[in-house]
Structure 1
Amino acid sequence: MKRSVWILFSFFLFCKGGAVEPMEKTHVLTLDEAIMLARVQSVDAAVALNELKTAYWEYRTYRAELLPEVNFTATVPSYHKGYNSYQLNDGSYTYVQNNYMQMNGQLSIDQNIWFTGGTLSLNTSLDFLRQMDGSSGNRFMSVPLALTLNQPVFGVNQTKWDRRIEPVRYAEAKAAFLSATEEVTMTTINYFFNLLLARENVAIARQNLENAEKLYEVAKAKRRMGQISENDVLQLELNVLDARSSLTSNESALKSHMFTLRSFLALGEDEELIPEVPDSVPEVRLEYADVLSKALANNSFAQNIRRRQLEADYEVAKAKGNMREITLFAQVGFTGTDRRFDTAYRRLKDNQVVEIGFKIPILDWGKRRGQVKVAQSNREVTESKLRQESMNFNQNLFVLVEQFNNQQTQLHLADEADQIARKRYHTNVETFLVGKISTLDLNDSQSQKDEARRKHINELFYYWYYYYQLRSLTLWDFAAGTGIEADFEKIVKH
């Protein structure tokens, strides 16, 4: 009888956890393929790209403000008919009618002067006036050429500060885009391994149910021969019920995780994804000092620290500049006026204007000085926050490096434990069939086998997750030994 039972079970005793049978349309998905799809098709990747585009065009706008700007303004025509008050020689007032049509146009070239903060403009304009009542006629006024300077003397130089802040802001945005791309990869790894573990759980549950049913049939046969107790038979029957419940629960979890990954990768709902266990991992040993130097050189955090420090300094400079306002306005050029268009450009006269205006508070009850103190206090708060954030960043990076280095050992141990637990379970099944161990020992070996398999997949997940988390912080490919770069012009204009 023992030999017949052994033959009955020999075909399944050494089988590994089977895969879930695929539907009609299946998609065998590797981790590399999932990462590639996520970087191209996921909503998170689209959000990161749009944020980069916004930063790119903001930077382009800033760059354009440093270049000459050509403007043409015109009014064609402007018609007025109404009454205005007019004072006579005797001091009394009367109303006179105005009825005229006016047109004007002006062409200007404006240039911001970044090292002084002023604006230099080159203008040419023409005005036309026609009186509709009384001595009607045309009048022209021309300004063939006028050079205008508008210069704040002690105020903050906005253009100069923009030249310091905006390039840092754009560098921060570019680094943030690369980090966001790596974070998309981290999300993909999370969803991928959730699905992988769910499929493994279904495979384990299905195999356990199959084994439980067959072991239960053997136990009933052995009970009829008086070789085991009724308690063992009942325990194996409970194992069958537990295995069926576990299979149902795991199949539901599998569907949920598959839907999540399909939605994230923007794949069709009719595809059944079959994730493949990665057959290799990038085995590298990291040094904290090296990782920290790469993070401070490449990560958007370093640019963020620098930008916020510059912005705090700018607020202090602006508050100090507002303590007194002095502006210089100067214009030199020529102007001409006549009833005819051509002579309006011939009979030219000098046209010069020089103005120096200032506003210095005599008594403001310390308002402007208080604004300076507030800006300086805010800068000190910002500096304290930046120091704390830098310390936290360095500490978190140190912990992450340690976790990654330790994870290599954890992964190797989990792999060995998985293999040993499988062998032990199959050995215990054989031993149970010949009646040398109890159902409790068999159940224990099965639980350890399942737990070892799950732990191996979890450790594999943490290894990949830590690896790409380090990539996102350092923007460095440790396996290839190169930095993570991108053609931003091509990405934005694609």
Structure 2
Amino acid sequence: MSYSKFSTTLLFYSFIGLISFGQTIPKQYTLDRVVEIAQVQSPNALLAKNHFLKSFWEYRTSEARLLPKLNLDAQLPNIQRQITKQTLGGNDYFFETAQANTSAALSLSKNIGLTGGQVFLSSSLQRIDYLDTALTSFLSNPLTIGYQQSIFTFNPYRWSKKIDPIKYNEAKRKYLEDVEQVSITATIFFFNLLASQIRKKIAEQKWANYDTLYKIAVGRYNLGKIAENDLLQLELQLLRAESEVETANINFEDRMFKLKSYLRLQDDQPIELIPPVEGLDFFEVPIDDAISKATLNNSTSLSFERRLLESDREVNRARRTDRFSATLFAQYGLTQSGEQFGDAYQDPQNQQQFRLGIHIPILDWGLAKGRIKVAESDREIIRTSVEQEQIDFEQNVYLEVMNFKMQHRQIEIAAKADTVAQEGYKVSKQRYMIDRISITDLNVAQNDKDNSQIGFIRALQDYWINYYKLRQLTLFDYKNSREISIDFDKMR
């Protein structure tokens, strides 16, 4: 059966179905339109978008950790009235004190990704007001510059600089794959409803056919031309056909609700789907090219690289945790005090601070060694898993390409089978009318005809699902010979 002939048959059934909707004319949707809507407003599309935005802001946060940070800290003011102990001449006395402390500090700091240290620059001013005596004192630190560094310790910034860009690019590709998965899901919902739509029309036509045959059989039975058993068989088929109509209607409503729910369509207008028969493209997809593009474009490849780097990071973390380490702190600045604001900035004195601390684990009963061995074993597990997953991934691409290649022939077979079944039913019906075959033979022909129509729909479904799976794996549109991409800047 040619595709155009099958399309005409389906449109004929759709026209008959319009009557069942009464005065409400159903809104027609093509597969392309359903996929387009799903990619914009389906729950999965919105989830994919927000997962990407989360990854984007995680990446921005990671980058921001290595950018200079400017902070202003202030106390405006801190008032205290209390009794405190003071030592005078070797004796302790309690005195009431009342003072207001006011301070402000402006600091600029930056983490150093290469070393894991931090350099900082600050300027601060403090003021103390003695409330009982009306005296005031100022302390200024006009300029303080310093550096602090952990030595022989784990450096998270160095690893973030390696891993986070890969993770962000992986998120970009994962989003594109998620969009293609939305297309696959929308296609499944589309064809589920389309199959129910066709089954509904088939059930209605089947009931009409058996109703006609039963009325004819009643007349023939009254004339003594057929046995009572044949009449009862037809009546039974008529009752079954009526039951199938009710079941098909319920199934159709259920599938329509699921599609509308996935597309987030709020109106109550019924839907009629247009079978995607016209314009099928059976283009060639070279297997080697598909595997190459999938390896280059798919997020799985970046996932492999990221997981290997993360395993190396954990080994490095284990080797540098609770081992010999040192902490270096150096600071140089200017300071001065005075009873007047200006005095606190006159002839500032320099101040320095240098501190070097060390940590030497002496006895840990093999705790550090065990932690290292666990991390190294985990790394070997990940390496082995990645190697196997890489093989499985390429095999999956190969199978998807082979499945797509055979879809052309599968659709041709399904179309031909439908043609044969349609013609076979016509012949069987004519032969039954002249008592050449039994009602059982007619039922077999009827079922073959019905199943062949659904079989063609399922063949179309397999084609379109394979088409979108191929796009998802390779992130390449072989139909239009172009990379699948979007402007991610517009999503932020």
Match of 1:390 in 2: 390
Match of 1:112 in 2: 111
Q: Which moved more, 1:385-394 or 1:237-246?
A: 385-394
Match of 2:428 in 1: 428
Match of 1:126 in 2: 125
In structure 2, what is the Cα distance between the partners aligned to 1:359 and 1:97? Answer: 44
1:186 pairs with 2:193: no
In structure 2, what is the Cα distance between the partners aligned to 1:374 and 1:367? Answer: 11
1:273 pairs with 2:267: no
Match of 1:138 in 2: 136
- Tell me by how many angstroms 1:103 deviates: 0.9
Q: Is the 8 A contact 1:212 1:239 kept in 2?
A: yes
Once the two structures are superposed, residues 264-313 of structure 1 have per-residue CA deviations (whole angstroms, 9 ceiling, x without a partner) of 11113511110110023331233332222222222222222222221111
Between Structure 1 and Structure 2, how many residues are aligned? 476
Runs of 5+ consecutive residues of structure 2 not aligned to the other structure? 1-10
- Tell me by how many angstroms 1:437 deviates: 3.0
Q: Which moved more, 1:67-76 or 1:296-305?
A: 296-305
Match of 1:39 in 2: 39
Once the two structures are superposed, residues 449-473 of structure 1 have per-residue CA deviations (whole angstroms, 9 ceiling, x without a partner) of 1111111111111111121122122
Q: Is the 8 A contact 1:337 1:347 kept in 2?
A: no
Which residues in structure 2 correspond to 1:438-457 (within 5 Å)?
438-457=438-457
- The one-letter amino acid of 2:119's match is L
CA RMSD of aligned residues (A): 1.9
Q: Which moved more, 1:157-166 or 1:369-378?
A: 369-378
Which residues in structure 2 correspond to 1:65-80 (within 5 Å)?
65-80=65-80
Once the two structures are superposed, residues 359-416 of structure 1 have per-residue CA deviations (whole angstroms, 9 ceiling, x without a partner) of 1112222222322222222222222232333333233333322222223221211011
Query: Structure 1 length normalisation: TM-score?
Result: 0.92
Match of 1:251 in 2: 249
Match of 2:58 in 1: 58
Aligned-residue sequence identity (percent) comes to 34
Match of 1:9 in 2: none
- Tell me by how many angstroms 1:122 deviates: 1.3
Match of 2:30 in 1: 30
In structure 2, what is the Cα distance between the partners aligned to 1:119 and 1:85? Answer: 39
Distance 1:16 1:427, change over 3 A: farther
Q: Is the 8 A contact 1:25 1:270 kept in 2?
A: no
- Tell me by how many angstroms 1:17 deviates: 4.2
Q: Is the 8 A contact 1:69 1:110 kept in 2?
A: yes
In structure 2, what is the Cα distance between the partners aligned to 1:448 and 1:355? Answer: 89
Distance 1:16 1:425, change over 3 A: farther
- Tell me by how many angstroms 1:327 deviates: 1.4
Match of 2:301 in 1: 302
- Tell me by how many angstroms 1:207 deviates: 0.7
In structure 2, what is the Cα distance between the partners aligned to 1:480 and 1:218? Answer: 56
- Tell me by how many angstroms 1:428 deviates: 2.3
- The one-letter amino acid of 2:281's match is P
Q: Is the 8 A contact 1:195 1:257 kept in 2?
A: yes
SS of residue paired to 1:20 = helix
Match of 2:174 among 176, 183, 197: 176
1:20 pairs with 2:20: no
In structure 2, what is the Cα distance between the partners aligned to 1:83 and 1:290? Answer: 84
In structure 2, what is the Cα distance between the partners aligned to 1:313 and 1:184? Answer: 35
In structure 2, what is the Cα distance between the partners aligned to 1:28 and 1:235? Answer: 39
Match of 1:10 in 2: none
Q: Is the 8 A contact 1:336 1:349 kept in 2?
A: yes
Match of 1:83 in 2: 83
Once the two structures are superposed, residues 189-245 of structure 1 have per-residue CA deviations (whole angstroms, 9 ceiling, x without a partner) of 111101100010011111111111112222233334444433333222222111111
SS of residue paired to 1:66 = coil
In structure 2, what is the Cα distance between the partners aligned to 1:356 and 1:268? Answer: 68
Which residues in structure 2 correspond to 1:405-424 (within 5 Å)?
405-424=405-424
- Tell me by how many angstroms 1:314 deviates: 1.1
